[in-house]
Amino acid sequence: MTEVDDAPVIVCGAPGSFARSVLAERHPALIEQVRDAFPWSPERHRALDALLRSSTEGVIEPLGPHAHDRERWDAWGAEYFGRSWFHVPFLWAESYFYRLLLEAVGYFGPGPWQGIDPFAPFKRAELRGSLVDDELAALDVLARRPVAERAAAYLQGSLWGNRADLSFTVGSRTADGGTDDGSDGSTEARSGEDPPPLVADDSEVLWSLLPTGGSPGAARTVHVIADNSGRELIPDLVLIDHLLASGRADDVVLHAKPYPYYVSDATMTDVVDCARRLAQASGEAGEAGRRLWAAMGDGRLAVRAHGFFCAPFPYAEMPDELRRQFDGAALTIVKGDLNYRRLVGDRLWSPTTSFAGLTAHFPGPVAALRTLKSDVIVGLEPRTVARLEDAAGDGTGRAWRTSGTHGLVQVRT
């Protein structure tokens, strides 16, 4: 039996598991927040109520007959329809839940709610928040540091920005309406404190693939597969600006979601909103934003949104036209937890399983920047695993995998 065969796919029903908590706790809380975010019509309220009942007490049902992608999801979910949500693969169940949520609010259908992002109020509130102001102001201080130190900080900012995931804070509202998830994005960069240690750090390998000044010959393209909008996407854009301005990349392709997905996942609208937030800032942030705005205008920064990024499959199953986009890239940077699960496969791997082996399917060099917020983890040293499990203090040794307090940089050349 191969290692792949031996690693079970993560399903939603295991008592006490992270996957079960997402379905049983996070999704119902999200439905309530979406319900309160807009003055939905009675029809939309009924649809949201039906989704709440189905996802907590019922079985998985196909999309309605008029859904534009009914045939696609019929094929993708043929073996899951009629089964409990808690008895199917976690990756598929999460993806289909968000597709049904968009259906419930009328995102795709004709009518006044067509194209309205149900998560937009949460994204906009975060983007307007004072924490973003503080993080942008920190770039002025960072500008006085040596170039190598700045590059390291931009990479760390992009990684730890993944802590600012709106879906990760659903259900953990404090009395004053804030969040209390034990993490607030780039706090370490603002305060000057060292960030938490990484469970794996291939930063030097990453930079070796992107030397400053470039090299003669064909243009070097870097792809960035985005995760969340707002306070994660802004440091991603700052990192992209550094890659372009320093000559580490000749052009960058940023991959966003084609439509709202997983609460805070970045769409083209979010990319523009975040670029504008940067460009309208003062100091170093404003200069970076204006450079990015110009780079989008002259083609050095392209934004793409392939439908596969909202599909319930690992990247090993990406279509050929998407695979060709990554083939030949100097590096593809894969951001965030969901993208990591899709990159290595959403299975209960042994944490010492080879990252290089599980990502051999990906065309070209690939780097994962991720804050740990789900059970999947590979590529760790045995002594690192032992130390983390000993320090977990939760009786299972697994809390570090889902708490959002640990991060990694992993690279396969």
Q: How far apart are CA 362 and CA 332, in angstroms?
A: 9
CA dihedral 372, 375, 381, 383 (to 10 degrees): 100
For 298, counting Cβ atoms within 10 Å of its Cβ (0-12 exposed, 13-18 middle, 19+ buried), the class is exposed
User: How high is the mean pLDDT of the chain?
Assistant: 90
> What's the pLDDT tens digit per position in 57-70?
999 999 999 999 99
Tokens 């003062």 label which residue?
282
3-state secondary structure of 73: helix
> In the numeric block, which tokens belong to residue 224?
């960035």
**pLDDT attached to residue 178:** 36
Confidence band, pLDDT 50/70/90 cuts, at residue 5 = low
Confidence band, pLDDT 50/70/90 cuts, at residue 216 = low
Q: How far apart are CA 158 and CA 196, in angstroms?
A: 14
pTM, rounded to two decimals: 0.92
pLDDT at 144 over 80: yes
> What's the pLDDT tens digit per position in 281-318?
999 999 999 999 999 999 999 999 999 999 999 999 99
> What's the pLDDT tens digit per position in 197-214?
799 999 999 999 999 876
221-225, strands of its sheet edge to edge? 198-201, 407-412, 366-371, 331-335, 221-225, 251-255, 301-304
pLDDT at 387 over 50: yes
Give percent above pLDDT 70 in the chain.
Answer: 89
pLDDT at 188 over 60: no
> In the numeric block, which tokens belong to residue 284?
């170093």
> What's the pLDDT tens digit per position in 99-112?
999 999 999 999 99
Confidence band, pLDDT 50/70/90 cuts, at residue 162 = confident
> What's the pLDDT tens digit per position in 318-363?
999 999 999 999 999 999 999 999 999 999 999 999 999 999 999 9
**pLDDT attached to residue 166:** 52
